[in-house]
Amino acid sequence: MARVDRIAEPWGTRTPYGPGETWPTRVDAYLADGLGEDDVDRWVQSATILHSNGDGLDIAVKDDRIVGVRGRADDRVNHGRLGPKDLFGWQANHSPDRLTKPLIRRDGELVETDWDTAMDAVAGRCRELLAERGPSSVAFYTTGQLFLEEYYTLGLIAHGGIGTNHVDGNTRLCTATAAAALKETFASDGQPGSYTDLDSADVICLYGHNMAETQTVLWTRILDRLAGPNPPRIVCVDPRETPVARAATVHLAPRPGTNVMLMNAVLHELIGNGWIDRGYVDAHAVGFDELAQRVRDYPPEVAAEVCDVPVAQIREAARIIGTAQRLVSTVLQGFYQSHQATAAAVQVNNVHVLRGMLGRPGCGLLQMNGQPTAQNTREAGADGDLPGFRNWSNESHVAELARIWNVDPMDIPHYSPPTHAMQMFRYAEEGSIRFLYVTATNPAVSLPELARIREILAQERLFLVVQDIFLSETAQLADVVLPAATWGEKTGTFTNVDRTVHLSEKAVDPPGEARPDLDILVDFAHRLDLRDKDGAPLVKWTDPEGAFEGWKECSRGRPCDYSGLSYDRLRQRNGIQWPVTDEHPEGTERIYVDGQFWAQPDYCESYGRDLVTGAPLDETEYRALNPTGRAVLKAAEYLPPHELVSEEFPFQLITGRTLYHFHTRTKTGRAPQLQAAAPEVWVEMAASDAADRGWSEGDVLEVATPRGRVEARLRISGIRPGVLFLPFHYGYWDRPGGAGPDGRGRAANELTLTDWDPCSKQPIFKTAAAAVTRVAPGDGPAPAPTTTGSRPVSGTVPATRGGEDALADEQVRGGSR
């Protein structure tokens, strides 16, 4: 067993393997206070949070307190491995500033109260508004970090009980485009690929996906393939020189906002060189002629000029993709949070349909998620869609859901598309939404144009409820704050990107009077006296397993079918891929085998949208386009970004993540090793841009846009010239007073613009025009980027070593189970 500093070595030790071989097992563990495994009282099964990978782990408990974690050797997702956030992030559970009692606003101040007083205030105000203004005055804004059972209960309360169409989550900010792109091509959500496809792929493409920092264990899997025999070729699309870019065979670094142009050029080359499976396309797709005609106008020479990428690199990337025998593609925020997000992500789908690279080993497509339970928000209807991937514009789907819930179909809002988060906040700004229930998320830091968002949340006419584990920037603005339990303190299931379902068991009690989110939601429903059409309580369960059984029936016969799963099965074998049915009791490794899609007009989740306007297609239009339920090849025209650089604002600003933090740092900022690794915000700039201005590493810069200003230290990196990068994690909870009196802050979203993709409605965080000036010289050069093993780490990973507190155990076990 080795001891490894997992801050300095975030991906751990290599265990090389070749194509078709099983990924070797390496069990990672971290125990606090010098404890050994023999000191642990019990191990409780769970899976990881703070990213979307879904790594199986066990929670170590001693004296009824969490003291560490250990990867599960037999888990199909991670084969025992854990990333830095997995190993150290659990310590936030013990933070002394956890919320332990409800809070209510009295005379302008939040004061402690009892649960009855808090819940009576919440339910009472909700009832008043329903009577005075109707369901459209009530909105719910949730997260990607609850459990499936909690999302389903929330969706039932909002859609089936209250009857509001205003339901969404912070998943709108990170992976709404994943769902939208899958619906455009396959008419349904659901990831076609499986993580095991990485084991045999000969080409892996990462589009706007810095996997090395967002899904560290999945990147470890690729690093082990690269270290083994017959390694895959890597194509990376990213304007920054990330660890992924450094490992790539070809790194394309386009101007932000030009992804559609680049993808059209790749498609131009695939079709022009005959690198397509025409038999597969003719048998299983529609729309080829329109796509082929569209991309004729996008030769590599045109794309090279617009994207500022060498022609030879575009052609080489297309050749690698076009000649791959087994192709895996992943997509994330570099596409999802950029201009023309859905249109660009759909073109990646087009690559796989054209090449026939779906539904077989090594041919995986993963429109990635960014949060541990983002997939469940979409499955269970907590993102506004109807649960079970039902089509809100299909009357028979609404009727089926009404039968399951035993409510009148007209009580379920389906008169228009669900209200997305950006529109919800606009309605709150205008005054039509007067009650906003925020669960486990922090929009006062994570939404764009923060000055505007703070004003909206602080309105006296808006009754704001925040259910969370810490007094976040958003909670500080609330009328009522409800203290919640978190991971390890409650039981429930969650599903990762490749449809793997894990059960996370309660290991310890929550602190003080904090309650599981499910208990709070059920209490809320009872206080509202929500009932079905026979007069029985609408929410018919009181515990997680009861909610899961209810969800199983809701999912039966739908694409995300859980009907063959149970808590008992997941306790015997944690980590099973849906759909799980009587026909497939062991789960389903990959979907769309032999071109069998869920796109039939009577069954599909969506009829699609116009990629330019976002206008939904109706049933008649969809039936004419795709009567037999094939994959849809959807062409897209390139359009320039809405906010262009100028003499006043000459840089393009993009935002993103760092390896050591998650979202607004409410958890990772309270884990000592993670916070020490990335304690402060920084701004990345190309070496040539810094040299032109005579600036040095560590200088204090001010980044400004028409919306605000942020101060950060300069980090010189391999980012493309003309582009600045700010990590979005840093807010003000650990810096009282927030942004300074002159408006200068450290939250990246002080700068971002209120704009969103027409199809997915995902905000655009990566095409703002910005100016930058030096405020003060640095007090010495910042440390140079470190080297992890033989692979250099980009400037996004601090040159730091975690020391004794960051040493984790790694035990390599020859093979995997």
In a shared domain, residues 231 and 302 = yes
- Please indicate, yes or no, whether residues 360 and 244 belong to a single structural domain of this protein: yes
- Sorting pLDDT into bands at 50, 70 and 90, what band is 816? very low
Structural contact between residues 577 and 501, judged by C-beta atoms closer than 8 angstroms: yes
CATH number at residue 655: 2.40.40.20
Residues 111 and 188 in one domain: no
Last residue of a domain, one of 98, 122, 145: 98
Please tell me whether residues 261 and 235 are part of one structural domain: yes
> Residue 582: inside a domain, yes or no?
no
pLDDT band with cut points at 50, 70 and 90 for residue 788: very low
- Say if 815 falls within a structural domain: no
Is 586 part of a structural domain of the chain? no
Task: Answer yes or no: do 401 and 354 share one domain.
Answer: no
Structure tokens at 124: 């009472």
> Are 247 and 333 within one domain?
yes
pLDDT in tens, 29-76: 999 988 999 999 999 999 999 999 999 999 999 999 999 999 999 999
Tokens of 293: 């005609």
198 and 156 belong to one structural domain:
no
Please identify, among 75, 98, 121, the residue that sits at the C-terminal boundary of a domain.
Answer: 98
**Cα 373 from Cα 98, distance rounded (Å):** 22
**pLDDT tens track for 690-742:** 999 999 999 999 999 999 999 999 999 999 999 999 999 999 987 766 554 45
Asked whether the beta carbons of 616 and 393 are under 8 A apart, the reply is yes
Residue 416 structure tokens: 């228009």
| CATH number assigned to the domain comprising residue 382 | 3.40.50.740
- Are 202 and 322 part of one and the same domain? yes
Looking at residue 814, what is its pLDDT? 61
- The pLDDT score that the predictor gives to residue 735 is 73
Residue-level pLDDT at 2: 85
In this structure, the answer to whether residues 393 and 531 fall within a common structural domain is yes
Its pTM stands at 0.96
User: Residue ranges of the alpha helices (H) in 618-763?
Assistant: 619-625, 672-677, 687-693
**579 upstream amide cis, omega within 30 of 0:** yes
| CATH number for the domain harbouring residue 52 | 2.20.25.90
Task: Pick the closest to residue 591 from 599, 313, 142, 473 (CA basis).
Answer: 599
In whole angstroms, give the CA distance from residue 728 to residue 547.
Answer: 35
- Residue 106: CB atoms within 10 A of its CB come to 9
Q: Are residues 152 and 116 in the same domain?
A: yes
CB neighbourhood size of 295 (10 A): 23
Nearest to 666 by CA among 468, 376, 479, 484: 468
pLDDT at 794: 38
What's the confidence (pLDDT) of residue 736? 65
My answer on whether 524 and 413 are in the same domain is yes
Domain presence at residue 747: yes
Q: Please give the tally of structural domains in the chain.
A: 4
Helix or strand holding residue 243 (H, E):
helix 243-247
Give the H or E element holding residue 155. Answer: helix 148-155
Q: What percent of the chain has pLDDT over 90?
A: 91
Q: Is residue 740 part of a domain?
A: yes
Residue 566 lies in a domain: no
Say which amino acid occupies 295.
V
pLDDT at residue 644 greater than cutoff 50: yes
From 540, 556, 572, give the residue that closes a domain. 556
Q: What is the largest CA-CA distance in the chain?
A: 74
Q: What is the pLDDT of residues 69-119, one digit of tens each?
A: 999 999 999 999 999 999 999 999 999 999 999 999 999 999 999 999 999
Across 754-780, average pLDDT: 93
Cβ proximity of 523 and 66 under 8 Å? no
Tokens of 219: 């990147």
CATH number at residue 271: 3.40.228.10
386 is a domain residue: yes
The neighbour count for residue 452, using CB atoms within 10 Å, is 16
In a domain, 504, yes or no: no
Phi-psi sector, 33: left (phi>0), alpha (psi -120 to 50), beta: left
Domain span at 716: 651-785
Residues 157 and 37 in one domain: no
489 or 780, higher pLDDT: 489
In sequence order, the β-bridge partners of residue 515 are 484
